[in-house]
Copies of this chain bind each other. A is one copy, B any other.
Amino acid sequence: MELTVYLAGQIHDDWRDTLEQKAKQNNLPLSFVGPQTNHDKSDSVGEDVLGEQPNNIVKDDTASSINNFRTQILMEQADIVIALFGENYKQWNTAMDASLAIAKNKPVMIIRPTSLVHPLKELSNKANVTVENVDQAIKVLQYVFL
């Protein structure tokens, strides 16, 4: 049984690589998908495909339409969704990905520092599990296969 994990969350550091490597070191039969992690591409993809747009609102809307198309395809493949929240950035995409997964009855684990307990409390309560860091998330994933 190989399971697919969607990794929702910010795309400004390499937390996905860290998590994927630790999963590999532990021989967990997991493959990973997630949002576009090339930040520039994620912002420019609307204009990359459709050409110059008349203003930034439209540029952003065309980019988001393609990002949502991509994300919807990949999340549909996922058996598990992990959503990481950090102290920077608005991360409303992360909240959206986690919430849509909850609504689709996909098992959801949130990773967040304890400094974010309060603002995330309702979303944490809706998700299955909340942990504080990637190492704890790996322990939970290991437990799935015990």
Q: Interface of A with B (CB < 8 Å)?
A: 1, 3, 31, 33, 36, 38, 41, 45, 48-50, 54-58, 60-61, 63-74, 76-77, 79-80, 85, 89-93, 95-96, 98-100, 102-105, 107, 109, 114, 116-126, 128-132, 136, 139-140, 143-144, 146
Q: A67 to B143, alpha carbons, bound, how many Å?
A: 9
Q: A89 to B120, alpha carbons, bound, how many Å?
A: 11
- The residue in A70, A130, A131, A139 that gathers the most chain B C-beta atoms within 10 A of its C-beta is A70
Partner of A107, one of B31, B73, B100, B116: B73
For the complex formed, measure the closest distance between the CB of A26 and the CB atoms of chain B, giving whole angstroms.
14
For the complex formed, measure the closest distance between the CB of A81 and the CB atoms of chain B, giving whole angstroms.
11
Interface SS majority for chain A? helix
Q: A66 to B129, alpha carbons, bound, how many Å?
A: 6
For the complex formed, measure the closest distance between the CB of A51 and the CB atoms of chain B, giving whole angstroms.
9
Known: A68-B126, A73-B79. 19 other contacts (CB 8 A): A1-B33, A3-B73, A38-B146, A45-B143, A48-B139, A50-B132, A60-B117, A65-B128, A67-B122, A69-B109, A90-B119, A92-B120, A92-B122, A93-B122, A95-B96, A96-B123, A99-B99, A103-B103, A103-B104
Q: A38 to B145, alpha carbons, bound, how many Å?
A: 12
